[in-house]
Amino acid sequence: MAFFPQIQKVQYEGAESKNPLAYRHYNPEEVIEGKKMKDHFRFSAAYWHTMKWSGMDPFGAPTFFRSWENATDDVANACNRVRVFFEFCEKMQMPYYCFHDRDVAPEGATLAETNRNLDEVVKVFQEEQERTGIRMLWGTANLFSNPRFMHGAATSCNADSFAFAAAQVKKALEVSKELGAQGYTFWGGREGYMCLWNTDMKREVDHLATFMHMAIDYAREIGFDGQFYFEPKPKEPTKHQYDFDSAACINFLRAYGLQDKVKMNIETNHATLAGHAVEHELEYAAMQGFLGSIDANSGDMLLGWDTDQFPTDVYMTTKIMLILLKYGGFTTGGLNFDAKIRRESTDPADLFYAHIGGMDTFAKGLKIAAAMRASGELDQMVADRYASWNTGIGAEIEKGTQNFRTLSDYMLAKGEVEELTSGHQELYENVVNRYLF
Ligand code: XUL
Ligand code: CO
C-alpha cells in the first residue's frame, strides 16, 4: 500500500525545471571532484522530525493529522509508521536515516517491555532495509524526554537515572549493531545544569566521561564498530550544557581520554545558538581531526532558539561544502536533516518539498564550492595574505629555530613591523559572490 500515492520518485530534472517534486541540482550520479554527489552528501532523514513531529509547540496542540497514525500510538502503529518512512525515503532517493530509540517504538510499562517494543519495530526496519537498501547512518537514545531524566541522564544527581540511561544506551547500541548503523551519536539532552548553587559540576562532567567510556566499551564488546559522535549544543533544554561547542567538546574528549574514539557531529542551528557560524564549528572540529558528521538545518536569527528549519541558504551550504571538500569529505558520517517543517505546513507533501529544498541547496553549494576550488583564486588570496610566513623570520619561527631572545634581537635590529597589508575583506566577499551569481 502506498501512503503517498500522488507522489512519484523524485528525480533530477535540471536547473530549469519548475516541477516542485523534482531535483534541480541534486543529481545523485553526477561526479564532482571525482566523487558521485550521493557519496559527497550521504543524505539522511531524521525519524524524530519527519515521522514524530506533530506540530505541537508550547502554545498549541498538534497540527498534523496523518492518515497512517492511529490514536493510541501502539506497537502496531509504530511498525506501520516505519513502512511509511521507507516509502518516503525511497521516493526521495534518501540513502540513510537516523533515529532515537524512543522515536521508533513506544515506551512500555517496564524497561523490559520497552525493550520488547523496540525489538518488534526493529524487525520492520530490518525488512525495509532489505527491501530498499536504505541504511542507518547513526542511532541514538532519547535520554531527555522522560521525567526520570529531569536532572539529566549521565550527569544526573541521581545514580539510578545514570543506570537507567546506561540500560537504554546498551539496548540502543545492540539495535544499532543489528541494523548495521554506521555510527552512534551522543547528544547531551539534559547533560548540563540550570543553577550552580545546587550543582557539583566536576562530579557531573566526570560521570559523563564514565558513561561514554562504558558505552564505547560495551560497543566493542558486542562487535559494534560504528563511529561514535558527540553533538555540541550550548543551551536548550538546560542553561549551561557541557557540550557547548566544538572547542568545549574536544577539550572534554581529550581531558578524559576519549579523543581517539569519538568525533564531532556538528549541527548548524546549535552552532548559531553558541554564537558561532556553522563554518566556524566545522572548521574547528575538522582542523583538530574531529570531523565526523553533520546535522543539517538552519536557525532563525530573529527568533534565536533551536528552530530546526530546513537549509535554504546557498551561501551557508557553499561554506559547509568548501570545508567538507577541503578535509576530504565524510567517511562514516553524512548530512542528516535534523530539520522539521513548520507547524503550519500541514500537508504530507510538505515533507517532500522541505527535503528537496535542503538537498538542492546543498547540491548547488557543492557545485559552487567545487568551482571555487578548481580556480584556486580564493586559496591563492589567502596564501598570499600569509606570505610573510613562507620565507625569512616567519619560516624560521614555523621551523622552530627561533626563540624570544632571537626574536627580540631581530626586532631591535629591524625597528618596526613592515609591510602590513590590507585584509581586503570586501574584496574577498566580492570574489566569493562572483561564484554565486
Ligand atoms: C537536539 C538535537 C538532537 C540530536 C540527537 O537539538 O539536535 O535531535 O541530533 O539526539
Ligand atoms: Co541534532
Q: Give the mean pLDDT of 14-43.
A: 98
Is the model's pLDDT at 1 over the cut of 80? no
What torsion do the CA atoms of 9, 130, 328, 88 make, to the nearest 10 degrees? 30
Q: Which pLDDT score, from 0 to 100, does residue 163 have? A: 99
Among residues of the chain, what percentage have pLDDT more than 90? Answer: 98
Per-residue pLDDT tens digits for 191-241: 999 999 999 999 999 999 999 999 999 999 999 999 999 999 999 999 999
Which three-class secondary structure string do you get for the chain? CCCCCCCCCCEECCCCCCCCCEECCCCCCCEECCEEHHHHHCEEEEHHHHCCCCCCECCECCCCCCCCCCCCCCHHHHHHHHHHHHHHHHHHCCCEEEEEHHHHCCCCCCHHHHHHHHHHHHHHHHHHHHHHCCEEEEEECCCCCCHHHCCCCCCCCCHHHHHHHHHHHHHHHHHHHHCCCCEEEEECCCCEECCHHHCCHHHHHHHHHHHHHHHHHHHHHHCCCCEEEEECCCCCCCCEECCCCHHHHHHHHHHCCCCCCEEEEEEHHHHHHCCCCHHHHHHHHHHCCCEEEEECCECCCCCCCCCCECCCCHHHHHHHHHHHHHCCCCCCCCEEECCCCCCCCCCHHHHHHHHHHHHHHHHHHHHHHHHHHHHCHHHHHHHHHCHHHCCHHHHHHHHCCCCHHHHHHHHHHHCCCCCCCCCCHHHHHHHHHHHHC
Q: Give the mean pLDDT of 378-394.
A: 98
Is the model's pLDDT at 71 over the cut of 90? no
Q: Give the mean pLDDT of 242-254.
A: 98
Q: Which pLDDT score, from 0 to 100, does residue 72 have? A: 85
Q: Give the mean pLDDT of 81-99.
A: 98
- Taking the CA of residue 379 as centre, how many other CA atoms within 13 Å lie in the half-sphere pointing to its CB? 11
Per-residue pLDDT tens digits for 159-199: 999 999 999 999 999 999 999 999 999 999 999 999 999 99
Please choose, from the candidates 342, 350, 352, the residue with its C-alpha nearest in 3D space to the C-alpha of residue 298.
342
Other Cβ atoms closer than 10 A to 286: 20
Q: Which pLDDT score, from 0 to 100, does residue 30 have? A: 98
Nearest atom, ligand 1, residue 140 CA: 10
Based on the residue annotation, tell me whether 206 is a catalytic residue of this protein. no
Ligand 1 neighbourhood includes 338 CB (under 6 angstroms): yes
Is the model's pLDDT at 73 over the cut of 90? no
Nearest atom, ligand 1, residue 100 CA: 10
Please choose, from the candidates 70, 100, 4, the residue with its C-alpha nearest in 3D space to the C-alpha of residue 355.
4
Ligand 1 neighbourhood includes 295 CB (under 6 angstroms): yes
- Selecting among 25, 40, 49, 100, the annotated active-site residue is 100
Q: Which pLDDT score, from 0 to 100, does residue 419 have? A: 87
Q: Which of 44, 190, 231 to mutate to test the pocket of ligand 1 (most atoms within 8 A of CB)?
A: 231
Task: Supply 31's cell numbers.
Answer: 561526479
Task: Supply 34's cell numbers.
Answer: 571525482
Ligand 1 neighbourhood includes 281 CB (under 6 angstroms): no
- Selecting among 103, 243, 245, 306, the annotated active-site residue is 103
Using CA atoms, how far apart are residues 206 and 173, in angstroms rounded to an integer?
Answer: 22
Phi-psi region of 99 (alpha: psi -120 to 50; beta: other; left: phi over 0): beta
Task: Supply 131's cell numbers.
Answer: 527491501
Nearest atom, ligand 1, residue 336 CA: 9
Is the model's pLDDT at 251 over the cut of 90? yes
Average pLDDT, the chain: 98
Residue pointed to by grid coordinates 511498525:
79
